[in-house]
Amino acid sequence: MALIYSYRKGAVILDIIKSLSEQFNTSPVYVKNIITLIDEGNTIPFIARYRKEMTGAMDDQVLRELADRLTYLRNLESRKAEVKASIEEQGKWSAELAAALDKAETLAEVEDIYRPYKPKRKTRASVAREKGLEPLAAAIMLQSPSFDPHAEAVKFINEEKGVSSAGEAVQGACDIIAEEISDNAELRKALREYLWKNGQIVVTSDCADDNVYAMYRDFSEPVHKIAGHRVLAIDRGERENVLKVKLVADKDQQIAMIDKAYVRNTSPSAALVKAAGEDALSRLIFPALEREIRGMLTDSAAEQAINVFALNLKNLLMQPPVKGKNVLGVDPAYRTGCKLAVVDSTGKVLHTGVIYPTPPQNRVEEAAYTVKQLIKRFNITAIAIGNGTASRETEMFIADVLKSMDYPAAYMVVSEAGASVYSASRLAAEEFPDFDVSLRSAVSIARRLQDPLAELVKIDPKAIGVGQYQHDMPKARLEEALSGVVEACVNAVGVDVNTASYSLLAHVAGLSESVAKNVVAYRNAHGHFKSRRQLLQVPKLGQKAFQQCAGFLRVPESEDVLDNTAVHPESYEAAHRLAKLCGFSLSDLRSGQLEKLKSITEKEAKSLAEQIGVGVPTLLDIIDELQKPGRDPRESLPPPLLRKDLMKLEDLKPGMVITGTVRNVIEFGVFVDIGVHEDGLVHISQLADKFVRHPSEVVKVGDIVNVRVLDVDPKRRRISLTMKGVRQKTQ
């Protein structure tokens, strides 16, 4: 078996494969295969899509979780090896330590074991040891009823070493005892578990009623129950010096746990040990465990927030494209005017301009004439309006224009989060060297409606704004998670190699940014690719990169129908055998033949797979792809909600049922765009009649939902909504 590490000769061996197999409830054979595939440099999308027989058809999300856990276990084992080597160098390695280290399942447990042997900075205990007080501490720890600590301490008085009295000697010995108690790994583990189960996070503040942290002025909640979003809010408030936070637990119970481990009787020595235990708790153990538990809460909350962010990002990227439409993008503004960009159905810019329908110019008639002319001239049926500054006034203007026209056009307010970042980026400058920054934004807004995935991959995922507290997240972990989401979405949809930008190609499995640029450069120099095999002529795109990327790249212009499907080139021969066994040719896929493929039963698929020489999952994928060559999986989702008219906040009344689009999903609810410019909140308690653990169980970003208005606060521009008892379109 691969990756088995031993930490002492003849000891019990920690088997990573067995650990992962148990955690992910899958066969050790699959786990071993996955580890081998990862170590060979295969990408997660490639493994998930084209190595299903080796992985048990594990999806890409679980594969990423397994890969993360594999990294953790390897780091854990590496740290164990380092700890063992360090203790051995000190000549203090023992069978007991070997057993404890082998048993440790977390990095925290390993560090607890290592604590007594870890080189320390100068401490009260280390100073006492330098004064020669360790023998006195050892004698006190024996807690003999006949032993007089103070009488014995007289022997340790030494002016040269800085011990001027028996009392100082006893105090130094107690400092040593306190540190030894603090370094007890089993005791720390027990106290950590006690604090986790019984501790309270207590928050105080003297902030005003209108402060964003007012709800936390007098707040407490059990450690093991506190919600992640509250942890992150409290952490931020503490960093801003608005909140004071502490961990509170029954001190007497903690002291009792220490006494049980160390205090043997009621002798004078035992009294000193007890006092040293209390000192260890208040000075050494509790402060460290408080930091550790607060850190654990923050890490867990951050991971939850990252997962929600990742899920929202995935759903945003996978929103259906608005295909076959010329789109007008509008970047709203006041003084500088609204920037316009018309793009055709392929995203090509046809026209740009500026109108001034908003204050202070208020050239409404002139702006309306311009928009009407553009709509007619370019046959525009969809308008994308950015949701930034002046968006409300611009939306009202566009709605009025559409009302005055007998034309099948509609609009949608599009999040422009990150558009300014993109517009000022090197990539935008390369795409539109002759456009100023604001015109680039208008183009980006239009393309976001047209094809969210192709446009949003150009932007740092953190800037897209579909999460909560993203600026408080561990940067590296957030980037890793979000990059994984982008990669998964791009490869799930597939990329047209003859139209894609290098920024989109760079997210295809196996392609780096430099190789993606080479693909575009080759395309520009030689014209459209005519087949997948032609990719091998691209500089620096070798056999390994081709293996990883080929199945995710589409070549609609190819004579081989398989080049425009997700069938991997390594399975082309199998696809031709399948067609032959079914009595047709791949060059002539007619509807009747496709019906024959649809009618293949599970038993027939197993027989066909054996005849062809592939696994059943691969065969089923081939059958699925042959039925819809060049398909886009996003097309099966409900199309985005385009509007012709705009309501005002003042038009809303409790009880009204309105259709809207889910814009963001967070821990405590979802925000829904109902066409009044202000998103309404459906609290988690209002999402369904049943108990909901997390809003993502009910809805996702981009969903079209029906909601009922509960309350409207015009002053604070807040809208409360409910989905309880409201019939949804999908029902």
CATH number of the structural domain spanning residue 414: 3.30.420.140
Distance CA(263)–CA(254), nearest Å, equals 13
Look at residue 631 in the predicted model and tell me its pLDDT. 82
Looking at 601, 632, 663, the residue that finishes a domain is: 632
Q: Is residue 303 part of a domain?
A: no
* 352 and 431 together in one domain: yes
Residue type, 187: L
Is 259 inside any structural domain?
no
- Cβ burial of 715 (10 Å; 0-12, 13-18, 19+) is exposed
Shared domain check, 613 and 717 = no
One domain for residues 592 and 676: no
**Which pLDDT does position 585 carry in this prediction?**
80
Residue-wise pLDDT for 232-286, tens only, equals 999 999 999 999 999 999 999 999 999 999 999 999 999 999 999 999 999 999 9
CA distance 45 to 64: 10
**95 shares its domain with 50:** yes
Does residue 90 share a domain with residue 51? yes
- Residue ranges making up the domain that contains 603: 520-632
Q: What is the pLDDT of residue 506?
A: 95
Residue corresponding to tokens 């399942």: 105
SS (H, E, C) 226-260: CCHHHHHHHHHHHHCCCCEEEEECCHHHHHHHHHH
Do 36 and 64 contact (CB within 8 A), yes or no? no
Indicate which CATH number applies to the domain containing 675. 2.40.50.140
pLDDT recorded at residue 651: 83
Q: What is the CATH number of the domain that holds 98?
A: 1.10.10.650
CATH of the domain at 547: 1.10.150.310
pTM beyond 0.95, yes or no: no
Bridge partners, residue 707, by sequence? 658
Question: Does any domain span residue 640?
Answer: no
Same domain, 707 and 617: no
Same domain, residue pair 89 and 28: yes
Sign of the alpha-carbon dihedral angle for 516, 522, 524, 527: negative
Q: How far is CA 322 from CA 237, 637, 675, in A?
A: 42, 12, 19
Choose the final residue of a domain: 422, 450, 478: 450
Q: Phi-psi category of 540—alpha, beta or left, where left has phi over 0 and alpha has psi -120 to 50?
A: left
**Which of 598, 632, 666 represents a domain boundary (last residue)?**
632
Residue 122 lies in a domain: no
Q: Are 709 and 613 in the same domain?
A: no
CA neighbor of 659 nearest in space, from 728, 730, 731: 728
The answer to whether 673 and 699 are in contact (CB under 8 A) is no
Q: Within a domain: residue 168? A: no
Token code pair at residue 278:
């209390």
Query: Which among 14, 213, 251 has a CA at the least distance from the CA of 109?
Result: 14
- Angle at Cα 535 formed by Cα 531 and Cα 537, nearest 5°? 115
232 inside domain: no
CA distance 160 to 654: 84
Same structural domain for residues 601 and 669? no
In 396-411, which positions are buried (b, 16+ CB within 10 angstroms) versus exposed (e)? ebbbebbeeeeeebbb
Q: Is residue 457 part of a domain?
A: no
> Pick from 436, 437, 370: which is nearest to 397 by CA?
370
706 and 623, same domain (yes or no): no
In a domain, 253, yes or no: no
Q: Which helix (H) or strand (E) holds 221?
A: strand 218-222
Low-confidence spans in the chain with pLDDT less than 50? 1-14, 731
> Is there a single domain that holds both residue 19 and residue 56?
yes
Domains: count for the chain: 4
Provide the pLDDT for residue 715.
84
625 lies in the same domain as 704: no
